[in-house]
Amino acid sequence: MTVKPQVRIVAIYVSVALLWVLFSDRLLLSLNFDERTLSLLHTLKGSLYVLVTGALLYWLIGRTVRRMDRLNHQLFSGNEQSLRALVSAMDVRHKETRDHSERVMRMTVALARRAGLDGDALRHVRFGALLHDIGKLALPDAVLIKPGPLTPEEITLMRTHTVLGRDLLMRTAFLRPAIDIPYAHHERWDGTGYPRGLRGEDIPLAARIFSVVDVWDALSFPRVYKPAWPEPEVIDYLRNAAGGQLDPSIVGLFLDHYDELKAIGLEQLQLD
């Protein structure tokens, strides 16, 4: 039977307290001091008791917290590995380029760090970037991997993937804070994007960061509907899209660190 941490801590604390009271009182009584000295010794004993038990509680609680941190890390890692397997299968289904979702995730996290994000915000960016197209799981292959241009009806259907992605992530508590990228990565700086037509800084920062990386990736690698663009043309496109499609400050940050970010994105391919 597994003992709950709080039960174990209380049991240890109570046991130590009872043993302390029992043996310390007997020790003092056996010394045959006068009443004034005994009173002073009882005060010192009580103070020492507070210090000793405080240190004991600190150690017990710290040990439990460290154990819980390890278990949470294992759970987090397991969840992330499961999501990566799902996304890898999704990339294969969508006929995306090799390592697409992993690549844009690595680059987005690196760019987000340079934009000042850290801690929980960076973790949400990590999951959001990895799952940016999760809503496409609900779309038919005839639309997803169509080699030619989409019809207006197909474009309307394709654009529902942002709302579908938000709805899917909202079903899982630890993924809810990561919805900004799946939901808003097709918003445009000039307000002509979808699904909500957000403009400028009304677009969540995580989505603005990801959009720059996603556009670079979409142009730099072949897709079923187009070949890869030459790198100079990709860079020119990003510069021209700044202030229209993309946040100009994020485009500038991306280009300032371009070689470094590109290396981070391609590192897995180089290892393979």
Tell me which residue of 229, 244, 169, 157 sits closest to 199, measured CA to CA.
Answer: 244
Q: What is the pLDDT along the chain (272 residues), one digit of tens a residue?
A: 566 777 777 777 778 777 777 777 677 667 777 777 767 777 787 777 778 777 877 887 788 778 877 777 666 666 767 677 677 667 666 655 557 888 999 999 999 999 999 999 999 999 999 999 888 888 888 887 787 788 999 999 999 999 999 998 999 888 899 999 999 999 999 999 999 999 999 999 999 999 999 999 999 988 777 889 999 999 999 999 999 999 999 999 999 999 999 999 988 655 44
Query: Nearest 5°: CA angle at 127, between 122 and 131?
Result: 145
Residue-range domains of the chain with CATH: 1-93 (no CATH), 95-271 (1.10.3210.10)
Question: What is the pLDDT at residue 125?
Answer: 96
As a whole number of angstroms, the distance between CA 25 and CA 21 comes to: 6
pTM reported for the whole predicted model: 0.72
The catalytically annotated residue of 4, 136, 146, 226 is 136
Question: What is the pLDDT at residue 142?
Answer: 82
Question: What is the pLDDT at residue 272?
Answer: 46
Q: Is 4 a catalytic residue?
A: no
CA distances from 33 to 42, 47, 49, 188 (A): 11, 19, 20, 84
Question: What is the pLDDT at residue 200?
Answer: 96
